[in-house]
Amino acid sequence: MTVGLVDPVRDRAAVTLAGRWRARLWRPVTALAGGLVMDLGFPGLGWWPLTLVGVAMVLAAVDGLRFWRAAGVGAIAGLAFYLAIASWSGLYLGPVPWIALSASQAIAVGLGCGLIGFASRLIPARGAYLLYPLLTAGLWAAREEVAARWPYNGFSWGRVAFSHSEGVLAPLLSWVGASGLTFVLVAIAAAGYRIVRAVADDQGARAWQESAKADRRPALRSTLTAAAAWATVAAALTLVPVWQLPSAGTITVGAVQGNGPAGYFTARERGDLLAASERATATITPGSVDVVVWPEDGSDLDPTRSAEALDRIMRVADTVDAPLILGAITKRDDLYYNTSLAFEPGLSTPTDFYDKKRPVPFGEYVPDRAFWSMLAPDLIGLVARDYVPGTREGVLEVGGLRLGSSICFDITSDDVISDLPARGAQLILAQSNNGDFGTTDESVQQLAIARVRALETGRDVVNISTVGTSAIIDGSGRTTAALPTFEAGVMVQEVTLRDGLTPATRMRGVLPLAIVIVSLLTLAGLALRGLTSTAVEAA
C-alpha cells in the first residue's frame, strides 16, 4: 500500500459529503438544543432569559424553510422542550404517558413552526426587522392559544409567558395577559435573532469590517437602527408598572398544608388526609383568622355523604371560629366531582360549593375511553372513575366574602381564571394536590402560573397544596408567605381584597382572539401577495 499520496477527487468528495451532512443536521440539532434551553427558563432553574434564547434558536432552525420541513424541525424542538418541562408526568406512571403528552404537544409546536417557517419565506427583506418579529410573535402566541384549548380542553403548560412570572416584563401581565406577554417576549426574541443573523452572515460581517465602503454603509446603518429601536422598546416596556386595583379591605387567611399521604399511589388509611389537615389546623389560634383554607383533597372523605367527616369538619370550623373551605371528591346523582366546599361555624351543611370546571384528561377522566382502552388498557384502567365538569360559577360566598376558587390545573385556564374577578371575586384561592409529583419541578411550575394569575387579575392568590409548593402572592406578584415542601404547616397572613378589573381581565378573550385573527390574515395576505408576484413574473 502506498503511503503519503492524496487522491484529490476523493478528498473533495469527502469534504462535500461532510458539508452536506452539516447543512442537513444543523437545523434539527439547533432545534433540539433550543427546546432544551427554553426549558431552563422555567422553574426549577428559572433563568427566564434562557427561554428567549431558546425561542431564538428554534426560530433560527426553521427560518426560510417550507411548511412541512419547518414543521418537522419545529416538532423536534417541541418534543425536547416538553420531555424536559413535563418530565414529572412520568414519575409514577412510567414513560408512556410522559412520551404521549410530549409527542402531542410536539405536533402542535411543529405545526406552529411550520407556519413561522412559511411566513419567513414570504416576508420582504425590508420587513425583516419589524414585520418578521411581529408576525412570528403572533403565530407563536396563536399556536399557544389553540394548544391551550384543543384537544380535550388543551394543555397550557409551557407557554412562554409562564416562564416570566418573575421577569422584568412581568408587570405587563396586568395589561395584556399571558397571551399578550408571550407575544411581546417572542417578538423581542425574534428581533434579536434577526439582528444577530444580520451581523453574523457574510455580508453583515463584511459590513462591520469594511464600513468605510459606501455600498456597505446602508446595511450596517439599518442593522444598528433596528437594534437601537428594539432595545429602546424593550427598555421602555420594563418601566410599565403593575396595574393597581383599589383595596376593598383586608382579611387574615389561614392556609393549611397538611402534608398527608396525598399521592394517588401513596399507601394510606381511610381518613388520613382529613386527619393531617385537622392536625395542622390545630395550630391556628381560635378567632385569629377570618377564613381557613385547605387544599384540593384536604379531606379524603366526602362530607356530603359521610356523617363522620361532616362532624369532624364542623368541629374544626367551630374551634377556629372561622369559615372553612376545603377540597374533597363528592358524588351527586351517581356522578363524581372534584369540589371545593365552604363551611361556616354553627351550620351543619356546606353554605356554598364549586365543582372543578376542567377535569384533567387521562388524570381525572378519560375522554373516548373505549378507544384509548384498546391502545393502553392497563394505564387507562388506573383512572377508575371519571370526574364530571362543573357548571357552577367559581365564586364562593362565605361570611360576607366573595372568594374565587381555582382547583389545581384550573389555574392554567385563561377563561376559568379571568371569570373569577369578572364575577366579583376579591381574592383567589388556588387549591391543589401535588402529591403525585414528588420533588419534581411540577409544583414550582404551577406556583409560577399562580403568580402570573395574580398579576393578570390584580388579586392576591392563596396557592395552597397538600404537600407544597404553597405560597401567598399579592396582586403585584410579590410572595408574602410560603411554606417548605413536604412539611405540615399553616400560613397565617393578612391579604388584601380587591374590586375592579385590570386591563388584562377586561380584554379577556378579545386580545388572544385578535392575535390569532390578525396573524393568520397577515400570513394569508403575504401568501396572496407572493402568488400574485409569481403570476406577474410568469406572464
Instruction: Copy the grid coordinates of residue 470.
Output: 404553597
Q: What does the pLDDT look like over 472-528, one tens digit per residue?
A: 999 999 999 999 999 999 999 999 999 999 999 999 889 999 999 999 999 999 999
- Helical packing angle, 173-200 and 49-62, nearest 10°: 50
Question: Are residues 187 and 136 in contact, defined by beta-carbon separation less than 8 angstroms?
Answer: yes
Q: What is the pLDDT of residue 315?
A: 96
Instruction: Copy the grid coordinates of residue 55.
Output: 425561542
Q: Is 435 helix (H, G, I), strand (E, B) or coil?
A: helix
Query: Which ranges constitute the DSSP H helices of 41-94?
Result: 49-62, 67-85
Question: Are residues 101 and 55 in contact, defined by beta-carbon separation less than 8 angstroms?
Answer: no
Q: What is the pLDDT of residue 257?
A: 98
CA 22 to chain centre: 35
Of 106, 119, 131, nearest to 65 by C-alpha is 119
- 227/233 Cα distance (integer angstroms): 10
Of 186, 35, 41, 195, nearest to 116 by C-alpha is 186
Any residues with CB less than 8 A from the CB of 155 and at least 6 apart, and which?
A: 101, 104, 105, 147, 148, 412
- 428/447 Cα distance (integer angstroms): 13
Torsion sign across C-alpha atoms 403, 404, 407, 408: negative
Residue 537 has pLDDT above 70, yes or no: no
Enter the pTM of the model.
0.92
Instruction: Copy the grid coordinates of residue 208.
Output: 462591520
Average pLDDT for 376-387:
81
Q: What is the pLDDT of residue 486?
A: 95
Any residues with CB less than 8 A from the CB of 144 and at least 6 apart, and which?
A: 156, 159, 160, 179, 182
Q: How confident is the model at residue 105 (pLDDT cuts 50, 70, 90)?
A: very high
Any residues with CB less than 8 A from the CB of 41 and at least 6 apart, and which?
A: 47, 48, 49, 50, 51, 52, 53, 54, 163
* C-alpha radius of gyration, the chain, whole number: 27
- 156/143 Cα distance (integer angstroms): 11
Q: What is the pLDDT of residue 224?
A: 86
Q: What is the pLDDT of residue 535?
A: 60
Q: Which residue has better confidence, 220 or 90?
A: 90
Q: What is the pLDDT of residue 18?
A: 57
- The least confident of 52-56, 183-187, 535-539 is 535-539
Q: What is the pLDDT of residue 199?
A: 84
Q: What is the pLDDT of residue 17?
A: 57
Q: Is 470 helix (H, G, I), strand (E, B) or coil?
A: strand
- DSSP output for 440-508: SSHHHHHHHHHHHHHHHH---EEEEESSS-EEEE-TTS-EEEEE-TTS-EEEEEEEEEE-S--HHHHTT
Tell me how many degrees the CA angle 302-485-495 measures, rounded to the nearest 5. Answer: 75
- 140/134 Cα distance (integer angstroms): 10
Percent of the residues in the chain that have a pLDDT greater than 90, as a whole number: 76
Q: How confident is the model at residue 208 (pLDDT cuts 50, 70, 90)?
A: very low
What residues are paired with 387 via a beta bridge? Answer: 336
Q: What does the pLDDT look like over 151-177, one tens digit per residue?
A: 888 899 999 999 999 999 999 999 999
Q: How far is CA 125 from CA 60, 131, 519, 535, in A?
A: 16, 10, 19, 20
- 354/252 Cα distance (integer angstroms): 22
DSSP 8-state assignment for residue 358? S
CB atoms within 10 A of CB 101: 18
Q: How confident is the model at residue 211 (pLDDT cuts 50, 70, 90)?
A: very low
Any residues with CB less than 8 A from the CB of 377 and at least 6 apart, and which?
A: none
DSSP 8-state assignment for residue 48? T
Q: Is 469 helix (H, G, I), strand (E, B) or coil?
A: coil
DSSP 8-state assignment for residue 479? E
Q: How confident is the model at residue 217 (pLDDT cuts 50, 70, 90)?
A: low
- The least confident of 245-254, 309-318, 525-534 is 525-534
Where do we find the cell 414528588? 438
- Helical packing angle, 217-237 and 173-200, nearest 10°: 160
Question: What mean pLDDT value characterizes the chain?
Answer: 90
Burial 105-138 (b: 16+ CB within 10 A, else e): bbebbbbbbbbbbbbbebbeeeebbbbbbbbbbb
Question: Are residues 225 and 237 in contact, defined by beta-carbon separation less than 8 angstroms?
Answer: no
H or E segment to which residue 491 belongs? strand 489-498
Q: What is the dihedral of CA 386, 467, 474, 416, to 10 degrees?
A: -10
